[in-house]
């Protein structure tokens, strides 16, 4: 019985030590390091791909020198370090905090861009890429948020260095969202919910005009209106389809 008591006591000490190590106050880490040294060490760790270490340096710098010379850049680097360390929630929080603290700084476009990237990547995990999952069949809440973040970036900073990549990603997202809506429209049609199918397809034509799903959406409208004996509406949708997509079959 004494052996078991000693074992339990030993395990308790180990667990307590573990709890203490994970709750370390960033302000107390690296006690002899100056602001410049923390920033340099953080950037070196980041460049070496040691993102867990770079986060520690940047967190310490921000806690100890909240109004320091390197604080703003450290916060930007911390966003990236969290992102590369697969800590999405912390990266999103850091991006939001930067936008709140530095709304007029020249680098705030980066925070918007990274925020969009993180929301975008939540629907583009490596497992899905390798196994070929159709993203249009997933819950696209994070993709819609990414589109919103990218749209804000282009609205506020149309000449940002991140604008070209952002526009390309928005085109991809727009096609994905349109394809998602088209799947729903086809589902409604297959289940003879023709009014819902026509309305959903009409939304695609209205809101995703540049997407590749528009001709298929027009076709769903034609079929749905015919099923509802709405010949005038069916003919109107067919004319639009033939005029804009003459080779559609």
How far apart, in Å, do the first and last CA atoms of the chain sit?
82
Q: What is the pTM of this model?
A: 0.75
Task: Name the pLDDT band for 138 (thresholds 50, 70, 90).
Answer: low
216, exposed or middle or buried, with CB in 10 Å at 0-12, 13-18, 19+?
buried
pLDDT at 18 over 60: no
Give the domains, in start order, of the chain with CATH numbers: 34-105 (1.25.40.10)
Can you tell me the mean pLDDT for 110-121? 93
Q: Is pLDDT above 70 for 132?
A: no
Q: What is the pLDDT of residue 240?
A: 96
Alpha-carbon span 51 to 207, nearest angstrom: 40
Is the pLDDT at 3 greater than 90, yes or no?
no
- Match 């905090």 to its residue by tokens: 97
Q: Is 76:107 a contact under the CB 8 Å cutoff?
A: yes
Looking at residue 236, its pLDDT comes to 97
Between these two residues, 249 and 114, which has the higher pLDDT value? 114
Q: What is the pLDDT, as a whole number, of residue 120?
A: 87
Place of tokens 């079929």: 223
pLDDT tens, 210-226? 899 999 999 999 999 99
């Amino acid at each position: 019985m004494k052996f078991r008591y000693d074992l339990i006591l030993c395990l308790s000490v180990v667990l307590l030590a573990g709890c203490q190590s994970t709750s370390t106050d960033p302000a107390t880490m690296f006690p002899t390091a100056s602001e410049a040294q923390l920033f340099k060490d953080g950037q070196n760790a980041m460049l070496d791909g040691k993102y867990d270490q770079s986060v520690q340096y940047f967190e310490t710098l921000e806690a100890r020198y909240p109004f320091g010379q390197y604080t703003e850049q450290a916060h930007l680097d911390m966003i990236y370090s969290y992102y590369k360390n697969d800590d999405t929630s912390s990266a999103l929080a850091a991006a939001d905090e930067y936008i709140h603290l530095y709304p007029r700084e020249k680098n705030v476009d980066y925070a918007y861009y990274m925020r969009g990237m993180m929301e975008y990547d939540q629907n583009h995990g490596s497992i899905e890429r390798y196994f070929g999952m159709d993203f249009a069949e997933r819950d696209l809440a994070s993709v819609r948020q990414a589109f919103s973040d990218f749209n804000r970036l282009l609205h506020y900073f149309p000449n940002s260095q991140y604008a070209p990549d952002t526009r390309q990603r928005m085109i991809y997202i727009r096609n994905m969202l349109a394809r998602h809506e088209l799947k729903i429209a086809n589902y409604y049609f297959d289940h003879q919910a023709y009014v819902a199918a026509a309305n959903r397809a009409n939304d695609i034509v209205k809101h995703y005009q540049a997407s590749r799903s528009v001709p298929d959406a027009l076709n769903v409208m034609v079929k749905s209106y015919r099923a509802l004996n709405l010949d005038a509406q069916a003919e109107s949708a067919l004319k639009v389809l033939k005029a804009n997509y003459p080779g559609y079959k």
